[in-house]
């Protein structure tokens, strides 16, 4: 292994067998049965001996239509993780710096390091909001070629206000030779999105995924919307035929079920608000969330103890309590109403 990678830790989430699995921010609902049928029907007609459409034309057109942009402003890959990896292969790498504001999604820094880049980790305020003075400090000290924001942020759930995105964007523009990446893996669950700011003349991309809202974590499909020159660059970097034929069909068909997806988002958002209200009445600190998960901090018991107590009741959530800056913090994914009830009951038992 490369010397610079030896000390890196992998990215893991234990997948133990439990009744209620609320640890990886997936959708609790399977895709609509009509999607399954349409997918099976198209699969039966695939010419398996041929390579897939290298440009994923129909899929890109569908995504572009969804966001009111042109297909040449869309880049799709195997999960938004691969979107970010391709982007960092193109714009990070040895001798360059990538800025993150911690705590945030661990893969931003992790993938950046895999490309050989240096990661400049900025701090957030104690309540996990973005500190714009800190952003200015990090950017002028390290002149990053890529700056990450994540809205709603994982694992905190906080939505970045539009004014913050605009301020960071103007700092990126002032610096020049620099790009702002807004990771909106949970964008549909929030009341605001940066997608509307995307423009060919603006050095900003917004990434999204089919893994959450679209109930397709099993398919591994994500994309970004950004300037067409950037999409051209990424097309040169990504492996040929990286999106297999089945995935292109799966994604394209999913886009024809927008209303079903919007209904699911509404259910999850309503459940999030119900859970958040119930948890606020417990002896824990609950962070405001615009995502399909909620971060909370235990007050009376150790985070690890609460996590284990839930696991003993067959409820699995994410233990973030050992992560830097997240002492005592646990993250629960919003599940079905029945799963959420089980979680609430178990949590109040453990905290009692």
Structure tokens at 76: 């799709």
Structure tokens at 338: 């029945």
Contact 29, 336 (CB under 8 A): yes
Which three-class secondary structure state does DSSP give residue 327?
coil
Residue owning tokens 């109403």:
337
188 binds ligand PMP (CB under 6 A): no
* Contact region with ligand PMP (CB under 6 A), list: 75-83, 265-273, 308-316, 341-349: 75-83
- Give least dist CB 76 to ligand PMP, A: 11
On the question of a cis peptide bond just before residue 50, with omega within 30 degrees of 0, the verdict is no
- Give least dist CB 109 to ligand PMP, A: 12
DSSP 284-339: EEE---SSSEEEEEESSS-HHHHHHHHHHTTEE-EE-TTSTT-TTEEEEE---HHH
Q: Which residues, 24 to 43, sit near ligand PMP by CB under 6 A?
A: 25
Distance between CA atoms of 140 and 258, rounded to whole angstroms? Answer: 42
Element containing residue 99 per DSSP (H, E): strand 97-102
* Contact region with ligand PMP (CB under 6 A), list: 46-54, 55-63, 78-86, 92-100: 78-86
- Give the residue with the Cβ less far from ligand PMP, 121 or 341: 121
251 binds ligand PMP (CB under 6 A): no
- Give the residue with the Cβ less far from ligand PMP, 148 or 296: 148
Distance between CA atoms of 62 and 145, rounded to whole angstroms? Answer: 30
Closest among 27, 13, 101 to 320, alpha carbons compared:
13
Distance between CA atoms of 333 and 61, rounded to whole angstroms? Answer: 31
The dihedrals phi and psi of 261, each to the nearest 5 degrees, come to: -65, -40
Closest among 243, 194, 190, 183 to 219, alpha carbons compared:
243
| Contact with ligand PMP (CB under 6 A) among 71, 222, 226, 303 | 222
* Contact region with ligand PMP (CB under 6 A), list: 15-23, 73-81, 188-196, 278-286: 73-81
211 binds ligand PMP (CB under 6 A): yes
154 binds ligand PMP (CB under 6 A): yes
Query: Binding residues for ligand PMP, how many (CB under 6 A)?
Result: 13
* Contact region with ligand PMP (CB under 6 A), list: 74-82, 90-98, 111-119, 168-176: 74-82
Site string for ligand PMP, 84-113 (x = CB under 6 A): ---------------------x--------
79 binds ligand PMP (CB under 6 A): yes
The dihedrals phi and psi of 339, each to the nearest 5 degrees, come to: -65, -40
- Give the residue with the Cβ less far from ligand PMP, 168 or 350: 168
Residues at the interface with ligand PMP (CB under 6 A): 25, 79-81, 105, 150, 154, 183, 185, 209, 211, 217, 222
């Amino acid at each position: 292994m490369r010397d610079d990678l030896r000390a890196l830790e992998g990215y893991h989430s234990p997948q133990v067998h439990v009744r209620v699995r609320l640890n990886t921010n997936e959708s609790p609902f399977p895709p609509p049965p009509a999607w399954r049928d349409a997918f099976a029907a198209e699969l039966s007609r695939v010419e398996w001996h041929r390579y897939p459409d290298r440009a994923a034309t129909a899929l890109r057109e569908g995504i572009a239509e969804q966001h009111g942009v042109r297909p040449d402003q869309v880049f799709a890959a195997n999960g938004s993780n691969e979107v970010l990896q391709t982007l960092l292969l193109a714009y990070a790498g040895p001798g360059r710096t990538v800025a993150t504001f911690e705590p945030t999604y661990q893969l931003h820094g992790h993938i950046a390091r895999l490309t050989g880049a240096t990661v400049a980790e900025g701090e957030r305020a104690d309540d996990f909001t973005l500190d714009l003075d800190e952003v200015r400090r990090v950017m002028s000290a390290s002149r990053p070629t890529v700056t990450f924001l994540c809205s709603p942020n994982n694992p905190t759930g906080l939505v970045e206000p539009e004014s913050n995105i605009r301020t960071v964007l103007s700092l990126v523009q002032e610096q020049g030779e620099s790009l702002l990446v807004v990771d909106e893996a949970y964008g549909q669950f929030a009341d605001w999105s940066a997608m509307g700011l995307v423009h060919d003349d603006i050095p900003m991309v917004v990434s999204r995924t089919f893994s959450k809202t679209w109930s397709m974590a099993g398919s591994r499909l994500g994309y970004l919307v950004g300037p067409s020159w950037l999409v051209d660059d990424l097309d040169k970097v990504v492996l040929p035929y990286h999106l297999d034929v089945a995935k292109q069909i799966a994604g394209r068909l999913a886009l024809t079920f927008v209303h079903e997806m919007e209904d699911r988002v509404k259910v999850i958002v309503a459940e999030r608000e119900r859970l958040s209200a119930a948890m606020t009445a417990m002896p824990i600190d609950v962070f405001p969330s615009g995502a399909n998960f909620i971060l909370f901090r235990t007050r009376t018991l150790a985070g690890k103890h609460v996590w284990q107590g839930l696991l003993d009741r067959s409820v699995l959530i994410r233990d973030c309590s050992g992560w830097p800056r997240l002492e005592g913090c646990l993250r629960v994914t919003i599940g079905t109403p029945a799963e959420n009830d089980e979680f609430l009951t178990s949590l109040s038992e453990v905290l009692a």
